[in-house]
């Protein structure tokens, strides 16, 4: 704190002001404030403008440089108020000075770090894109060739058929891993731009459920789909919503060896729409539930883990739910099963049609 006269001469200072500028109190008393300001700083940034006279108090908030005794500069913010006497003439000005030099240094360091982070994200995206191309290109040759080789070999050569089927499964697994890594990269870097549109969720989920019917038959699981909603229509990004339920259903079938997998659509309070994906699978421990949506997180990990996967499926489900302004919840019990719920807000993501925009403009 510093008190100056109408002529901008220092009348009183506190200890903190002296320490900040490196002066003793007696050195500052009587000193003109101009002597603490760089030549390129405006002299009227502090407080008293005598031309203002009796028009009222002048309060200023400003940011500029001040010169310490050792001629180094510090960056400060000031708040000031002019005090008037009984005749409303300027008596003196009280100025609060805050040294923000270190704050500015931190801000500059953060700006540099952010720039480096952006560059790192750009390089990461370029790397993933290049690796994707390099891996996908040979896969696009290998995977279509496997059915042709199977037909050529014939059903009698069981040994080679087993090898080819294993190659096909491994190739598809590798392809899924690449897709999920690229999807996660796109979401985390903000490169994915959603396109919201109105869809009938019941129709889409019914079709998706049918795609898993053969898998349910292979594992002798009961697959159920039920729509209890009177109007299962929502505005969402169709691609990511499809990926949400593809991942949830794939997980349900992966970790369920007996019993059922169910998909239920229902209306819930506040006009929202909820989808439940239930299974009677192996479930999850409460300890693992804390990290369930973290990328690359798996309860069963290591070289000898029983179930394949890269731990990105549920992390993507979480990201995609947030992108669609949906609420994701999960309940699970070890050796009993899991229930994932996705609650969509029907009032979110609403996109006006071209006709609605034109009508609104015409009608004001």
CA triple 205-327-235, angle to 5 deg: 55
Tell me, yes or no, whether 310 and 264 share the same domain: yes
Tell me, yes or no, whether 68 and 178 share the same domain: no
Tell me, yes or no, whether 73 and 20 share the same domain: yes
Q: Is 299 inside any structural domain?
A: yes
Bridge pairing between strands 222-228 and 260-268? parallel
Q: What residues have CB less than 8 Å from 75, skipping those under 6 apart?
A: 63, 64, 65, 99, 100, 101, 104
Give the domain extent around 81.
2-99
pLDDT tens digits along 297-330: 665 544 444 555 556 788 889 999 999 999 999 9
Q: Is 269 inside any structural domain?
A: yes
Tell me, yes or no, whether 334 and 232 share the same domain: yes
Bridge pairing between strands 222-228 and 233-237? unpaired
pLDDT tens digits along 193-231: 889 999 999 999 999 999 999 989 999 999 999 999 999
| Pair 32, 6: CB distance under 8 Å | no
Tell me, yes or no, whether 125 and 244 share the same domain: no
Q: Is 76 inside any structural domain?
A: yes
Tell me, yes or no, whether 80 and 140 share the same domain: no
CA quadruple 111, 112, 113, 114: dihedral, nearest 10: 50
Tell me, yes or no, whether 28 and 91 share the same domain: yes
From 142, 161, 188, the end of a domain falls on 188
Which CATH number characterizes residue 202's domain?
3.30.565.10
Bridge pairing between strands 73-84 and 59-67? antiparallel
Q: Is 360 inside any structural domain?
A: no
Tell me, yes or no, whether 218 and 319 share the same domain: yes
Tell me, yes or no, whether 151 and 210 share the same domain: no
Q: Is 358 inside any structural domain?
A: no
CB burial class (10 A; 0-12, 13-18, 19+) of residue 56?
exposed
Encode the chain (364 residues) as per-residue pLDDT tens digits. Answer: 999 988 889 999 999 999 999 999 999 999 988 888 876 554 444 554 544 444 444 445 678 889 999 999 999 988 888 888 888 888 888 888 999 999 889 988 888 888 887 777 777 767 766 776 777 788 888 888 888 888 888 777 888 888 888 888 788 778 777 777 777 777 776 777 889 999 999 999 999 999 999 989 999 999 999 999 999 999 999 999 999 999 999 999 999 999 999 999 999 988 899 999 999 999 988 887 888 887 666 655 444 445 555 567 888 899 999 999 999 999 999 989 999 999 999 887 765 444 444 455 445 4
The alpha carbon of 17 is separated from its chain's Cα centroid by a whole number of angstroms, namely: 42
Give me the numbers of helices (H) and strands (E) for the chain, helices first please: 10, 12
Q: What residues have CB less than 8 Å from 314, skipping those under 6 apart?
A: 247, 251, 292, 293, 297
SS3 312: coil
Tell me, yes or no, whether 144 and 201 share the same domain: no
Which CATH number characterizes residue 21's domain?
3.30.450.20
- Cross-sheet strand order for the sheet of 272-279: 222-228, 260-268, 272-279, 337-344, 327-333
Question: How does the average pLDDT of the chain come out, rounded?
Answer: 82
Count of residues making up the chain = 364
| Pair 231, 217: CB distance under 8 Å | no
Q: Is 29 inside any structural domain?
A: yes
Q: Which pTM value belongs to this model?
A: 0.55
Beta carbons within 10 angstroms of residue 159's beta carbon: 8
Looking at the structure of the chain, the number of domains it has is: 3
Cα–Cα distance for residue pair 48/5, rounded to 1 Å:
9
Tell me, yes or no, whether 12 and 71 share the same domain: yes
Q: Is 141 inside any structural domain?
A: yes
Tell me, yes or no, whether 51 and 183 share the same domain: no
From 188, 204, 230, the end of a domain falls on 188
Structure tokens at 18: 């002296």
| Pair 70, 22: CB distance under 8 Å | yes
Cα–Cα distance for residue pair 209/211, rounded to 1 Å:
5
Amino acid 279: pLDDT = 95
Cα–Cα distance for residue pair 69/25, rounded to 1 Å:
12
Structure tokens at 189: 């870097």
From 188, 220, 238, the end of a domain falls on 188
Q: What residues have CB less than 8 Å from 202, skipping those under 6 apart?
A: 227, 229, 232, 265
């Amino acid at each position: 704190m510093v008190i100056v006269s109408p002529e901008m001469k220092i009348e009183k200072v506190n200890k903190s002001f002296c320490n900040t500028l490196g002066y003793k109190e007696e050195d500052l008393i009587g000193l003109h404030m101009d002597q603490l300001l760089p030549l390129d700083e405006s002299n009227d940034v502090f407080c008293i403008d005598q031309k203002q006279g009796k028009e009222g108090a002048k309060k200023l908030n400003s940011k500029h440089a001040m010169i310490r005794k050792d001629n180094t500069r510090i960056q400060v913010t000031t708040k000031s108020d002019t005090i008037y006497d009984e005749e409303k003439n300027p008596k003196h000005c009280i100025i609060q000075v805050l040294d923000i030099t270190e704050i500015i240094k931190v801000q500059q360091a953060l700006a540099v770090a952010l720039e480096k982070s952006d560059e790192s994200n750009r390089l990461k995206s370029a790397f993933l894109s290049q690796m994707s191309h390099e891996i996908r290109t040979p896969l696009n040759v290998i995977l279509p060739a496997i059915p042709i080789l199977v037909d050529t070999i014939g059903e009698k050569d069981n040994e080679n058929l087993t090898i080819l089927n294993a190659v096909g499964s491994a190739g598809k697994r590798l392809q899924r891993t690449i897709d999920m890594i690229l999807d996660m990269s796109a979401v985390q870097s903000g490169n994915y731009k959603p396109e919201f549109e109105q869809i009938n969720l019941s129709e889409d989920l019914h079709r998706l459920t049918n795609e898993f019917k053969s898998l349910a038959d292979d594992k002798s699981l009961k697959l159920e789909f039920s729509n209890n909603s009177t109007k299962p229509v929502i505005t969402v990004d169709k691609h990511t919503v499809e990926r949400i339920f593809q991942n949830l259903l794939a997980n349900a079938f992966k970790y369920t060896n007996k019993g059922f997998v169910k998909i239920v659509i229902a209306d819930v309070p506040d006009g929202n729409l909820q989808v439940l994906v239930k299974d009677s699978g192996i479930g999850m421990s409460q300890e693992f539930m804390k990290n369930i949506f973290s990328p690359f997180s798996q309860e069963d990990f290591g070289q000898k883990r029983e179930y394949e996967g890269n731990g990105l499926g549920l992390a993507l489900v979480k990201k995609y739910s947030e992108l669609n302004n949906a609420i994701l919840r999960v309940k699970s019990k070890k050796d009993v099963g899991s229930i994932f719920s996705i609650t969509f807000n029907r009032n979110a993501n609403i996109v006006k049609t071209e006709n609605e925009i034109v009508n609104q403009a015409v009608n004001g």
